[in-house]
Chain A
Amino acid sequence: MDKKVKLMQGNEACVEGAIAAGMRFFAGYPITPSTEIAEISAQKLPRVGGKFIQMEDEIASMAAIIGASLTGLKSMTATSGPGFSLKQENIGYASIAEVPCVIVNVQRGGPSTGLPTSPAQGDVMQARWGTHGDHPIIALTPSSVRETFDLTIRSFNLSEKYRVPVILLLDEVIAHMREKIEIPNEDDIEIINREKPENDIGEYRPYETKGERLVPPMASYGEGYRFHVTGLIHDETGFPSNSPIVAEKLIKRLIDKIEVNKEDIISFEEYNLDDAEIAIVAFGSTARSAKSAIDMARDMGIKAGLFRPITIWPIADEEIDELSKKVKTIIVVEMNLGQYVYEVERIAGKNCNVIGFGRANGELITPDEILDKIKEV
């Protein structure tokens, strides 16, 4: 067996990916089913000169990674449902202060303590709108162990490139299952680092953008720039302002820096869609069941295919719109009682029939159940 081919758990692949991406700081708090990410980070980070800290709570962990990122270290935290709720406060802070960081949320059954050891996909909307106010966010969702490795790296890259918190939405199935992974060579991994200012000290305006590029270069604490960072609405100098003009300009830029770069940010997989009459939209572990169901449907002569969002936020609206013009029906399968389906309906509803198929009992939806739904349609 090639040394690089391994049997690996999703949570472990996440840490391997993070370290490959350059993660050198992790702060976390124990919570099932994400705890392995903290445990493995604690083990591996000091070996590469990085730092791990177990904070007193989820809120503090989120705060600590923002602090660490401001000194220049690539930082990550990992949590699960209840902890994700607690982190929202400072996810908003990272959004407005534009501090790159990665938040892994291994989804489990909710609400509240819910089903701690069972899978769910009930945090789809929370990933988008969990913190208050209009804010930018990127969320990615893998459906295999290898993809967990890749998307953790991509989370860091997008976070650094756009100065935005990136949420990696795992679910308990992907996080805990072990499967084959071939770790790529270091040279084959693309790493993106935040853009640094080239200004003379004294001329640096920490939130000043140039031309088309809507992302300001970022200095680190201790480098000599001595800038101010706040969670208040601020102007290009970084200092607070009550001006509606300043507020409008800032919020619009924060949203636009994601919106105008959607093509770069959005990724997806299409499976058997060329001649499909029925398209399944599914992500994470559910997409695995959907693939099996589609294979079974094809064997029966039903023209079914899969559209799998890999970037879950921002939503692939143009692609879903195109899809809706080609197929008769879209079935959105998700381990919740209907979240992403409403977004798909908003985009596709005018062109085709959109129906949801979901469940929130802690069990992975099976291929047979999806096949039944396809047959029903």
Chain B
Amino acid sequence: MVSGLIEKYFRYNRLPHIWCPGCGHGIILRSIVKAIDELGYNKDEICVVSGIGCSSRAPGYLDFNTLHTTHGRALAFATGIKMANPNLKVIVITGDGDCAAIGGNHLIHAARRNIDITTIVFNNNIYGMTGGQYSPTTPKGEKGTTAPYGNIDKNFDLCELAKAAGATYVGRATAYHAKLITELVKSGIQNKGFSFIETVSVCPTYYGRKNKKGDAVNMMKFLKDNAINIKAAKSSDAERLNGKFLIGEFYKSIEPEYTDEYNKIINIFQKER
């Protein structure tokens, strides 16, 4: 049985997808589509843009205006699209390497402009498409094919990065917390400005195997056991929070949006004419 969501929003003939058994990306993608469905947008007004990597294959499966770009550049393409046609709801799907390494500069500047784009990172802590190299979110000490003796890089907290750069909506969920993904994406799309949502995924094929994290079920269980919602964390003692990571809505503010500001400039001259 094909679910109604898949029938309505997926390019059914493009399936099955390329993701490995046990990969978290499918759950995340479905949760995003659910958010779009609940918001009731017309498919023609949604534009989904991606870069390169496992996550970036997502737009090809979706029945929207879709663009699969070059490595790291999704936000730069998306900025052109949003500037040129502000009526489009622009969503960027990206991965940890795509967004935080090669695309890191585009991320901070899109956030700084507060341009109305919702960016969703599928963070699996590894370069999956190329076979398991360490990424900017691979925890220190963990292994990748290019960190055979353990990764000595300090990893990014992507949400802190986006917030510091100027994003006006920031949140984190995991592939286990699918309902939370939908909630955050809904709020993110509705935020008139740059929204950043980190979705912690699982990569049993590379990250899991390299680092002895067990199978996909074990990795999902890890997400379940170690993620604490920021609301719950506020009333928790330090001991309970030790070694855990936060999920939920982290930051929200109202700031002037980039395309609105540019339209004000255009309007000055339209009055003149």
Contacts and interface: CB of A to CB of B under 8 A. Distances in A.
B66 A229 contact: yes
A49 interface: yes
A227 B65 contact: yes
A239 interface: yes
A65 B80 contact: yes
A254 B79 CA distance: 27
A67 B68 contact: no
Contact of A230 (B68, B76, B84): B68
B16 to A, nearest CB: 14
Interface in B51-83: 59-60, 63-70, 73, 76-83
Interface stretch (B31-39, B135-143, B265-273): B265-273
Given A67-B79, A68-B80, A239 B14 contact: yes
B109 to A, nearest CB: 4
Q: Which of B60, B73, B109 has the most CB of A within 10 A?
A: B73
Contacts of A66: 69, 77, 80
A231 interface: yes
A93 B65 contact: no
Interface stretch (B42-50, B152-160, B173-181, B187-195): B42-50
Contacts of B161: none
Interface in A59-84: 59-61, 63-73, 75
A332 B268 CA distance: 51
Nearest to B47: A221
A274 interface: no
Interface size class of A (residues with CB under 8 A): 35 or more
A278 B253 CA distance: 71
Nearest to B272: A47
B60 A240 contact: yes
A287 B251 CA distance: 60
B67 A49 contact: no
Contacts of A93: 69-70
Interface stretch (A50-58, A150-158, A317-325): A50-58
The secondary-structure label for the interface of chain B is helix
B83 A60 contact: no
A135 B88 CA distance: 31
Given A56-B109, A226-B64, A49 B80 contact: no
Given A47-B269, A93-B69, A93-B70, A226 B83 contact: no
A66 B262 CA distance: 19
A90 B84 contact: no
Contacts of B69: 63, 66, 93, 231
A68 B68 contact: no
Given A93-B70, A230-B68, A222 B87 contact: yes
Interface in A191-240: 221-232, 239-240
B236 interface: no
B67 A70 contact: yes
Contacts of B14: 239
Contacts of B43: 226
A64 B70 contact: no
Nearest to B59: A228
Contacts of A239: 14, 60
Q: Lowest 7 A-B CB distances belong to which pairs?
A: A67-B80, A64-B80, A63-B76, A60-B76, A68-B84, A56-B109, A230-B68
Interface of A: 24-25, 27, 46-47, 49, 51, 53, 55-57, 59-61, 63-73, 75, 89-90, 93, 221-232, 239-240
30 contacts: A51-B83, A51-B266, A56-B105, A56-B106, A56-B108, A63-B69, A63-B79, A64-B76, A64-B77, A64-B79, A66-B69, A67-B67, A67-B81, A67-B84, A68-B80, A68-B83, A72-B85, A75-B84, A222-B47, A222-B87, A224-B44, A226-B43, A226-B44, A226-B63, A226-B66, A229-B66, A231-B68, A231-B69, A239-B14, A240-B60
